[in-house]
Amino acid sequence: MKKELGVAALDAFGSFSRGELAACAALLKYLEITQIGHKPVLRPPRRAGGAASLVIDAATRANLELVRSLGGRKQGSLLFAIDRTVTSAGARELASRLASPLTCAEAIHARLDAVALLLDRQMLRVKLRDILEAAPDIARALSRLALGRGGPRDLGGLRDGVSAARDLARLLAQAHGLPAEIAAIAERLTGDDGGLLAELTAALGEELPHFKRDGGFIRSGFRPDLDENRRLRDDSRGVIAALQSRYAAETGIKALKVRHNNVLGYFVELSANTAGPLLAAPLSDAFRHRQTLANAVRFTTAELVDAEARITGAAERALAIELDCFEALTALARAHERVLCAMAAALAELDLYCALAELAEEQNYARPTVDKARAFRIEAGRHPVVEQSLLKNRAGPFIANDCDLTARRLWLVTGPNMAGKSTFLRQNALIAILAQMGSFVPARSAHIGVADRLFSRVGASDDLARGRSTFMVEMVETAAILNQATDRSLVILDEIGRGTATFDGLSIAWAAVEHLHDVNKCRALFATHYHELTELAGRLDGTTNVTVAVKEWKDNIVFLHEVVQGTADKSYGIQVAKLAGLPASLIARARQVLARLEKQQGKPRPALEDLPLFAQLAPPPAVETQDRGPLLIALHAINPDAMTPREALDALYRLKTLASGEG
């Protein structure tokens, strides 16, 4: 590591364990084997995670859809919803910060100060984003050059990137009262590049090819010997055109052409009908026969051979000079890679802060208060992904909800499916992540005591490859939470115990709530359909009941998506099943079974044959024919499918007459 970084000691970069240094050594060995002599750009080692970052396990990241939706796409994730960056480097920085939110309140507030400044100074933000949008990706260009895979456009990217950094630094220098984060960015943008920008500007042209082998990327006037060979190469058309005109005049053949291919080089070509004079003396002495084709005859001359040697040599020499220039410029860039890396990081961070300010203005986000207290108080919080989806689809406004886990640190959330329990749980976890990464949050206000760990168990899935059922996966994830959560953690749990028998699941969920309250003592949101758990609010001091409000209307339910104090009186499962489109006969049967089961509550369990599960749905009483009047009898006798339009009209008149008679 010392050798690669060119230092005598690693103390300046921090204290590293033997295991960490061994991991770095393994990575360096891998690069040595796979890159075969090319040394990539290496930055000093920096410890990530640990006490400095909010710990989020893999299951929680997947459940909360931080960077990928459950379907594996970026669209629908939190990252997609909040990304307003204009550079690829800024997008990478956003993803990195979203993956590792901070736990240091002072560092979080420093980031929030930077976002607040750019939110308040809209004109400054607009100018910065205009420059950033045109700035190339310095880090990627430098990496490609370091690995020997770069081209002229990568050198052009360094030139334009450094130039953009200078423009941004001048713009920031004109602003006053910059917070510490923005001031540090401005300082890195003005780093000494050792004349790299001036050299690249003087050397590189405006239009650059993809590959260095194509040539033409060094500016005229940069190397005199290059200009000389270019003139000779570029004048080849004039030299060949002059020879063609002279040959046509000497031979008297106006159709004579001087052509070129990669096999013969330059040659004189005539049609088979006009080539006779050149094959006979005295012209045959000057024009030597080279090739006969079906419709053409080709010749060469000493002058053509000499001209070709001069022209070909000039092109090769010009390309060789350009390649030498490319290597020299690449070496100069490698010599200043530390400054360039610092500039690249500064550009990415500035783009990120501008993007977060843009997001806060666009979506009306508020600055959170983040400190070391145990508070968790969110007023009118919203789910950032769902809110934007509703707006895009014009499906109505998002219903904001409060969440206060400060005094009552464990909320038992009840309510029917589709009412929004999972959305409410997730939105509070996402707000905590956004706040601790240094972003404004989708809420009217937020006061969040720094969490050390975030756990989320939402949804159901199996892991067949590892031999785990859905319930086993649920229990493994729940065990990880209960064994690792601390009093500073934030825990989101949804429907614990639903994958097994009713009484087993209820018992597990009951014990889990007690463990979270008495042992972990963490802030938690616990959603459940086990209404029996709501009794715990009267037994555990730090627990309260909330429910997602619904209204019944004409045998249907209306979801209000509003979280209120209290408990749900029932789960409304049959109503939700009806909304899903289950057959009407099934819904009627389910209501019959539910009514019988509700009557059995508190009574001894009935015999198996007494349960309505083993009875058929009673058919509606039949209407006897003799009880029907003449109108119904006549109506019953009509077969509309076998009638002509005339017969149908006559039948309608007969029914009308019968109806008048009965009346």
Per residue in 18-31, pLDDT tens? 888 899 889 988 88
Instruction: Give residue 432's identity as a one-letter amino acid code.
Output: A
pTM of the predicted structure, to 2 decimals: 0.76
Residue 618 pLDDT level (bands cut at 50, 70, 90): very low
> What is the token pair recorded at 571?
């789960």
- H helices of 364-419, in order, are 384-392
- Confidence (pLDDT) at 614: 46
- Confidence (pLDDT) at 366: 97
> Which contiguous run of DSSP H or E holds residue 116?
helix 105-120
DSSP 496: T
Residue 608 pLDDT level (bands cut at 50, 70, 90): very low
Instruction: Report the range of poorest mean pLDDT among 402-406, 449-453, 617-621.
Output: 617-621
- Whole-angstrom Cα distance, residue 428 to residue 419? 16
Above 80 in pLDDT, residue 462? Answer: no
* 118 CB-near residues (< 8 Å, 6+ apart): 124, 125, 128, 182, 353, 354, 356, 357
Average pLDDT, rounded, for the chain: 86
Asked if residue 380 lies in contact with residue 365, where contact means CB atoms within 8 angstroms, the answer is: no
Peptide bond into 282 cis (omega under 30): yes
What percent of the chain has pLDDT above 70? Answer: 92
**617-620: long-range contacts, CB 8 A cutoff, minimum separation 24:** 617/585, 617/588, 617/589, 617/592
Strand partners, 414: 547
Domains 226-326 and 367-570 share a fold: no
Kindly report the CA angle at 223 between 219 and 225, in degrees rounded to 5?
Answer: 125
Asked if residue 351 lies in contact with residue 93, where contact means CB atoms within 8 angstroms, the answer is: yes
Mean pLDDT of the 504-514 span: 89
Q: Match domain 367-570 to its CATH number in 3.40.50.10190, 3.40.50.300, 2.40.170.20, 3.40.50.1370.
A: 3.40.50.300
* 163 CB-near residues (< 8 Å, 6+ apart): 197, 201
CB atoms within 10 A of CB 149: 11
- Confidence (pLDDT) at 601: 62
Above 60 in pLDDT, residue 121? Answer: yes
Q: Domains of the chain: which residue ranges?
A: 1-47, 84-193+336-363, 226-326, 367-570, 583-614, 625-662
At 42-80, the pLDDT tens digits run 777 777 655 588 999 888 999 899 999 888 899 999 999
At 73-115, the pLDDT tens digits run 999 999 999 999 999 999 999 999 999 999 999 999 999 999 9
User: Residue 565: phi, psi to the nearest 5?
Assistant: -70, 145
Residue 474 pLDDT level (bands cut at 50, 70, 90): confident
- Confidence (pLDDT) at 623: 47
CATH no. for 226-326:
1.10.1420.10
CB atoms within 10 A of CB 139: 22
At 517-547, the pLDDT tens digits run 999 999 999 998 888 888 999 899 999 999 9
- Whole-angstrom Cα distance, residue 489 to residue 224? 68
Mean pLDDT of the 582-593 span: 82
- Whole-angstrom Cα distance, residue 200 to residue 366? 44
- Confidence (pLDDT) at 13: 78
Above 50 in pLDDT, residue 613? Answer: no
At 347-381, the pLDDT tens digits run 999 999 999 999 999 999 999 999 999 999 999 99
Strand partners, 485: none
- CATH class for domain 84-193+336-363? mainly alpha
> What is the token pair recorded at 284?
């045959």
Above 80 in pLDDT, residue 236? Answer: no
Mean pLDDT of the 616-644 span: 67
- Confidence (pLDDT) at 71: 85
At 179-232, the pLDDT tens digits run 999 999 999 999 877 789 999 999 999 889 999 988 899 999 999 999 988 887
Residue found under tokens 């939402």: 458
